[in-house]
Chains A and B, each alone.
Chain A
Amino acid sequence: MENFEPVIVAFCCHYCAYTAADMAGSKRLCYPPNVKIIKVPCSGKVDAIHIMKALEMGADGVYVAGCLDGDCHFKNGNIGAAKRVAYIKKLLDEIGIGGERVEMVLMSAGMGERFAQTATEITEKIRKLGPNPVKSVNKAKTAA
């Protein structure tokens, strides 16, 4: 693929994942600029529709980053989020977009390295998967 730069949307919870992103920043750890962070109060706030809309609007990959098991500031928002992500993955497989484009990841506030590493790994995975097939409609339009 000619110079495909994936667009990744990362929903990061305020208490852990976003703070880890901050930590990565202050430690000057590099992670790909492909990852666009959206801060949410809790990963549990992320609803199925948010993930769907991100992909519908052309994101190539989406991940939801929450607190480690048992550490969620709101008790079990991260568990709810993980279940929703699993549900969406199945739906995406059903429509042929592919559940691999969506992930749930867990980390603690101090894990700057993990934030950077996850961002890098997911970007590479999506790069290999190729662009989100919904973009075919734009190709078809330009071809027409």
Chain B
Amino acid sequence: MKTESVLEKVFASGELAVTSECGPPRGAAPEKIIEKAKMLQGYVDAVNVTDNQTAMVRMSSFAACVFIKQLGMDPILQMVTRDRNRLAMQADILGAYAHGIDIMLCLSGDHPHFGDHPMAANVHDIDSVQFVQMVRDMRDKGRFQGGDDILNPPKMYIGAAANPFADPFELRVARLAKKIKAGTDFIQTQCIYNLDKFEKWMEGVRDRGLHEKVNIMAGITPMKTVGMARYMKKRVPGMDVPDELINRMAGVPKEKQSDEGIKISIEAIERLKEVEGVKGFHIMAIEWEQKVPEIVEKAGLLPRPKEFS
């Protein structure tokens, strides 16, 4: 075992892992994030906390993770390369680990263009692949990126994102290989609606034996309305929403659409359980966290193993 983290233990046990996500507030009061996390308590093994998502300023992921840790839950510190240089990143990693946070997700981050500070400097001192490598070397070599020894090396369980639906498709397995080479322990994918395409990607992943080198968690986001489905199809880069899904949502009266969306998610989970190499599910229900317990339960993912936390 590389770390003491809950997530590593769940994967090692052979159980399907379950994680979800919380977005910190756009202000300095922690109540909202605590409230959201409490809804997930007992239904997930660990919970991601996003980092200035869509380039909009929010309470830092680090601070929000500390509140979640205080609830007795296991947070996953998401960190983007967009906002910090390698000094700040390593400093935050030391600080987070000191607070008992031992799982993180290394990402590039959405471009400032999309957010509330398009005028800000776009840092990217390092990219997500170099970031993974840096965190791995901090853990396994006990060294900072600059080469000096770390007094008490943080032992982070390292996650990265994968998007089987972004272009170019032919590169998406190779990109995963790069991240694994750099030291990724687990992957959370972009939310999956096109199950055929996902299975095709997994085939490519398995052909190269990559599914045994990294723990892949399938991303699931329930649709609330047909409007949301259409928006995601048209406006969100790197998202693949098949027309059948939109038609299915549209074919149901408005009051019933959210239930249909949840049904679709549960069906997706059931199908993905059968895909070799899928080691868990990452359920992202942004501003709809209250539905996560229902999805986890109906998808047969309860009870969550208690012996690891």
Direct contact of A and B (CB under 8 A): no
- Residues of chain A touching chain B, judged by Cβ–Cβ distance below 8 Å, are none
- Residues of chain B touching chain A, judged by Cβ–Cβ distance below 8 Å, are none
